[in-house]
């Protein structure tokens, strides 16, 4: 179903087109996204859309870049809130990672879809490096970290665990079997199992 013309302020068309990508991708899959289709959904001419994005690949690159930046902010915020509320940062950051994927599946799928984007785009590279740096530096502050420039075994274990679980929740056998609450509860249980090994290994 095509939405009615979306109102946007001058200069916000680029972001409105990315919002349209999200809507189409969540409903029909990322393969169904076209620049003309996004322009139609926003309510502008294709020529207006092409002034912002030269082709579908450029559009999806911007979409993936936004997704990476949003996840980086989410993880940082989860760590800050854990400190403010005196809660376990490992649990909060891990839950935030999976909740982002479950709440925004189109964004999560797009981030590393290298065959559909321009991986050398400077903005995409910067966003990817920012997320990588945050994860390498103690997984957004949830683990003790002795080398913020390298991905430790503990960080890799935590990342692969929450990332793999997130993929199962949005595309695997657990996609429709569980409610959002049940998915996050399973994430919490997984983190409780991992936590002793991660904390012990990361201690000096």
Q: Residue 20: is its pLDDT beyond 50?
A: yes
Other residues' Cβ atoms within 10 Å of the Cβ of residue 85:
9
Residue 21's CATH number: 1.10.10
**Which residues form the domain of 18?**
1-53
pLDDT tier at 176 (50, 70, 90 boundaries)?
confident
Answer yes or no: are the C-beta atoms of 95 and 159 closer than 8 Å.
no
Q: For the chain, state the CA radius of gyration.
A: 19
Same domain for 109 and 61: yes
Same domain for 111 and 36: no
Q: What are phi and psi of 45, to 5 degrees?
A: -75, 150
Predicted TM-score of the model (pTM): 0.88
Average pLDDT for 128-138: 93
Nearest to 64 by CA among 123, 7, 3: 123
Same domain for 65 and 37: no
Residue 135's CATH number: 1.10.357.10
Same domain for 114 and 20: no
Q: What is the pLDDT of residue 203?
A: 53
Average pLDDT for 145-164: 91
Q: Residue 28: is its pLDDT beyond 60?
A: yes
Total domain count, the chain:
2
Higher-confidence residue of 197 and 131: namely 131
């Amino acid at each position: 179903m095509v939405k009615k013309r979306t109102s946007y302020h001058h200069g916000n068309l680029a972001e409105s087109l990315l919002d349209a990508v999200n809507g189409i991708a969540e409903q029909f899959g990322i393969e169904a996204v076209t620049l003309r289709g996004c322009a139609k959904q926003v309510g502008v001419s294709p020529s207006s859309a092409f002034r912002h994005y030269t082709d579908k690949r450029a559009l999806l690159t911007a979409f993936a870049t936004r997704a990476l930046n949003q996840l980086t902010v989410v993880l940082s915020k989860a760590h800050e809130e854990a400190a403010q509320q005196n809660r376990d940062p490992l649990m909060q950051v891990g839950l935030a990672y999976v909740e982002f994927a479950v709440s925004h599946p189109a964004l999560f799928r797009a981030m590393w879809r290298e065959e559909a984007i321009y991986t050398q785009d400077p903005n995409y590279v910067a966003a990817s490096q920012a997320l990588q740096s945050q994860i390498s530096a103690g997984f957004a502050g949830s683990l003790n970290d002795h080398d913020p420039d390298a991905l430790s075994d503990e960080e890799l274990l935590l990342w692969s665990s929450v990332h793999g679980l997130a993929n199962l929740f949005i595309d695997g056998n657990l996609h429709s079997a569980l409610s959002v609450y049940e998915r996050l509860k399973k994430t919490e249980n997984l983190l409780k199992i991992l936590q002793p090994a991660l904390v012990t290994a990361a201690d000096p």
